[in-house]
Structure 1
Amino acid sequence: MVQRQLPNPVEIFELMKFKAPELDGTKRRLEGALTISDLRTIAKRRTPKAAFDYTDGAAEGELSLARARQAFEDVEFHPGILAPAPDLDTSTTVLGGSSALPFGIAPTGFTRLMHTEGEVAGAGAAAAAGIPFTLSTLGTTSIEDVKATTLREPQGPTPGRNWFQLYVMRDREISYGLARRAAEAGFDTLMFTVDTPVAGARLRDKRNGFSIPPQLTLGTIVNAIPRPWWWIDFLTTPKLEFASLSTTGGTVGELLDAAMDPTISYEDLAVIREIWPGKLIVKGVQTVDDAVRLKDTHGVDGVVLSNHGGRQLDRAPIPFHLLPHVRRAVGDDFTVMVDTGIMNGADIVASVALGADFALIGRAYLYGLMAGGRRGVDRTIAILRSEIERTMRLLGVSSLAELEPRHVTQLTRMVPVDPAAAELAAR
């Protein structure tokens, strides 16, 4: 029998320990965010629908994005036992430089739309964390200002690095000029993007009447009522416009179609290779044969396996599924990166185990930005760092170099009707 007694007041008072209330609303929200999904929830609550949907959405039925995310959720890990990892090393070397973590910030366009701090917040947080930041051709902060932000930031465990993502414009001289400016500013890597000859059909944007710059309509005004802080920031800071392009006005698809050239070819890549003095990466590779061809005959330093975050061709290949096939085909002496669908540090660990040298985060970074500006981006990086470290310890590895394919099984819900035909298509 359990003995009963009257509650002891002293013991009750010992249990009654209350934390002082946090008066900084942003800090309180961000400290309560334990996952990237939590940051997304905050971002959705604090950002107008059109801006949030531009970030969160993808092309057409959004199948490519859903499948990429599902691929990471269908990972099975195989931990080793009795393999303590008290001293963890999450650093890596990629494209001739160091990074404190095996991921960097991907290029994102119109970034000040999500929060007025925009690319400055991303570049500053990346420099503080010791990871690379990639500026988009469609960025809303200039090449020079991003570099200045990186240099001003107290450096993290490894020096901050800047990469530049390049679209090929109809007016080629614009693209060449941007590449030269990035080189002169000290950016060490150029990310040549090949998956956007025309804009994908981003239906959320069309349904929202989303344009650059945002237009005040009855719908946007109604949506702004519970989010006055966003509009105050938007209307009291410098005009939202492209830092590298003069064309503004219209939907995102219209802007892309007006600026991009559908005739982009290997000849354009050859010209950029001559212009660019640093490392050259091709972003948007989606087949094994293209990766091999780029390595063997076009003098590039690596590829990013990407379907543009699901924002271009819907039903495109899943980069994470493609990863081990590309790694086997190109060997170990060629840089292979991966993006699309990464929302957890475990996704990054699984990618490294299956052959990725590095990963890039896009939406995960932007959710943090929308949730809390620079502090929100810091929180994104902190969440992913914690998840990477915990996953590595639970797997029984002390460094990224110890991660191997044996640690991961890619489970699949999608089996080709004809596996031989699917293998041929991937090539």
Structure 2
Amino acid sequence: MSIFNVNPVTVDDYRRLARRRLPRFLFDYIDGGANAEQTLADNVNGFDRYRLKQRVMRNVDDVDTSTTLAGFEAAMPMTLAPVGMAGMFARRGETLGARAANANRVPFTCSTLGICPVEEIVQATGKPIWFQLYMLRDREVVQSLLKRAEAAGVNTLVFTVDLPVPGKRLRDFRNGMLGTNLCSKLSKAAQLLYSPRWIMDVAIKGKPHVIGNLSEVVPNPDDLNEYKAFIDSQFDASVTWKDIEWLRTIWPGKLIIKGVMEVGDAQAAVAAGADGVIVSNHGGRQLDSVSSSIAKLPAIAKALGDQTEVYIDSGIRNGIDVVKAIALGARGVLIGRPWIYAMAGAGEQGVNDLLNNFQSEIRTAMALMGVNRLEEITGELIEEV
């Protein structure tokens, strides 16, 4: 970032700040995707296929960006997505994100693999949050995590279904993040030398560095390698929609299924009892060379109609993207990388400023399109080019 660019505004601005402040292996972890990262790029570029329609001479003196997301009265159609190890990008990062989300009246989603446990996050805001979970092989652990989340005040479960096995994220191998040999350790140590601010803020002051929600089930909670071994052993490639039906019987709150990209899967999610689905390819971090999420949204939204709420993540980088997603049938969007970039680059204030800018862009776009309410943003106000 140029010294003349004093105030970060866009997601790209915060990305550059994050790149300067984070150790390379951590920046690559959040910034990278699977294999050649084609889908990662397509997620962002896919929004360029669509153009909004500008209409004039309409009374837009009362623009309102508010909506309801899974029962949450939100100031805009946006949720902070679950991000694993968010607490490694800034000190107690999940609590920072939750406080910023609360200040801007949007939901925050805690990842199963977050550094801060769900109780710490809820305590930081005093408000309910959303909780993300995978189907683990040990179903007793699943039930225990759900009871823990419910006891903490979680009322919405975001269940990720697109991870029967982890994608091939080559950056994590290249930079030594996943290695345990001497070469990998030396590489990470060298990278840390260029991140003194991170060392003080996170490595020293941000302890404990444990996966908080799993601290009771991993033998040595102080060893991140043991967490990785545990998670690797818990990926369950045998999961089917029958398991989601079982999940529906034990979870009393809202259930949103994250990771559907095809109409048939979205319909199966509804049949299994989902209150919402998230059109998502995991931010391009799972199967490379699949379509962008935005390309899949219209067909899924049309097929589901009013049966359930449809959301989208992957590739949203500004308020214009949010408006496009709404016009194509989404109830709301989830952002992951953007809020992590902002937090890593500028802390809690960075996330606050980013969310404020998103809302301002949404409001401005609505006014220039001649609408005052989100429900007025329909397919008639967008075109494919």
Which SS does the other structure have where 2:291 is aligned? coil
Question: In the alignment, which residue of structure 1 is the partner of 2:187?
Answer: 219
Question: In the alignment, which residue of structure 2 is the partner of 1:317?
Answer: 291
* Residue 336 of structure 1, CA deviation: 0.3
| 1:40-119 equivalent positions in 2, closer than 5 A | 40-119=15-94
CA contact (8 A) 1:202 1:253 kept: no
Larger radius of gyration: 1
Q: Percent identity?
A: 39
Q: Matches of 1:237 and 1:350 in 2, distance apart?
A: 38
Q: Matches of 1:251 and 1:345 in 2, distance apart?
A: 40
Which SS does the other structure have where 1:303 is aligned? strand
**CA displacement 1:69-98 (0-9 Å, x = unmatched):** 111133211111112412210000122231
CA contact (8 A) 2:320 2:361 kept: yes
CA contact (8 A) 1:212 1:251 kept: no
Unaligned runs of 5+ in 2: none
| 1:115-264 equivalent positions in 2, closer than 5 A | 115-151=90-126, 161-211=128-178, 217-233=185-201, 234-246=203-215, 247=218, 248-250=223-225, 256-264=231-239
CA contact (8 A) 1:117 1:374 kept: no
| 1:370-389 equivalent positions in 2, closer than 5 A | 370-389=344-363
CA contact (8 A) 1:209 1:251 kept: no
Q: Matches of 1:338 and 1:317 in 2, distance apart?
A: 13
| Deviating more after overlay: 310-319 vs 221-230 | 221-230
Query: Partner letter of residue 332 of structure 1?
Result: D
Query: Partner letter of residue 184 of structure 1?
Result: A
CA contact (8 A) 1:302 1:334 kept: yes
Query: Partner letter of residue 194 of structure 2?
Result: P
TM-score, normalised relative to structure 2: 0.92
* Residue 183 of structure 1, CA deviation: 1.4
CA contact (8 A) 2:259 2:282 kept: yes
Q: Matches of 1:82 and 1:251 in 2, distance apart?
A: 62
CA contact (8 A) 2:91 2:205 kept: no
CA contact (8 A) 1:310 1:340 kept: yes
Query: Partner letter of residue 47 of structure 2?
Result: F
* Residue 29 of structure 1, CA deviation: 10
Q: Matches of 1:57 and 1:39 in 2, distance apart?
A: 16
* Residue 387 of structure 1, CA deviation: 1.5
Query: Partner letter of residue 205 of structure 1?
Result: D
* Residue 180 of structure 1, CA deviation: 1.4
Aligned pair partner of 1:397 in 352, 371, 377: 371
Query: Partner letter of residue 242 of structure 1?
Result: I
- RMSD between aligned residues: 2.2
Which SS does the other structure have where 2:42 is aligned? helix
CA contact (8 A) 1:89 1:399 kept: yes
Query: Partner letter of residue 228 of structure 1?
Result: P
Which SS does the other structure have where 1:337 is aligned? strand
Q: Matches of 2:302 and 2:94 in 1, distance apart?
A: 35
Go from structure 1 to structure 2 and tell me whether the alpha carbon gap of 1:129 and 1:161 turns closer, same or farther (over 3 Å shift).
Answer: farther
Which SS does the other structure have where 1:293 is aligned? helix
Query: Partner letter of residue 30 of structure 2?
Result: T
CA contact (8 A) 1:349 1:388 kept: yes
**CA displacement 1:296-351 (0-9 Å, x = unmatched):** x2121110000001101111232211111111111124100000011111111100
**CA displacement 1:140-180 (0-9 Å, x = unmatched):** 111111111121xxxxxxxx541111111121111111111
Question: In the alignment, which residue of structure 2 is the partner of 1:421?
Answer: none
Question: In the alignment, which residue of structure 1 is the partner of 2:330?
Answer: 356
Which SS does the other structure have where 1:192 is aligned? strand
Question: In the alignment, which residue of structure 2 is the partner of 1:4?
Answer: none
Aligned pair partner of 1:308 in 271, 282, 297: 282
The answer as to 2:302 corresponding to 1:332 is no
Q: Which has the higher contact order (CA 8 A, sep 6+)?
A: 2
* Residue 31 of structure 1, CA deviation: 6.2
CA contact (8 A) 1:199 1:312 kept: yes
TM-score, normalised relative to structure 1: 0.83
The answer as to 2:251 corresponding to 1:276 is yes
Aligned residue pairs: how many?
A: 374
Which SS does the other structure have where 1:164 is aligned? strand
CA contact (8 A) 1:42 1:371 kept: yes
Q: Matches of 2:264 and 2:4 in 1, distance apart?
A: 46
| Deviating more after overlay: 203-212 vs 188-197 | 203-212
Go from structure 1 to structure 2 and tell me whether the alpha carbon gap of 1:270 and 1:81 turns closer, same or farther (over 3 Å shift).
Answer: same
